[in-house]
Amino acid sequence: MAVMKVIEVMASSTKNWEEATKNAVAHASKSVKHIKSAFVQSQSVVINNNSVEEFRVNVKITFEVK
């Protein structure tokens, strides 16, 4: 039986949501080992002068506690 833990990470990108998600996982992996999955809970954008300026994601990251 494995013990899993979930943390919530917010991240952003100026390119797209996919890169924002990758940024969230990369940031979490600096201090968390054995990451097993990431679930994008929500997405949003920052609008400036009628243009998308930033993509934001709220990601739940699941990792195994060893």
Over residues 14-55, the pLDDT tens digits come to: 999 999 999 999 999 999 999 999 999 999 999 999 999 999
Model-level pTM? 0.89
Q: How far apart are CA 15 and CA 52, in angstroms?
A: 9
Task: Please report the domains of the chain, with CATH numbers, ordered by start residue.
Answer: 3-65 (3.30.1660.10)
**12 burial type by CB count under 10 A (0-12 exposed, 13-18 middle, 19+ buried):** middle
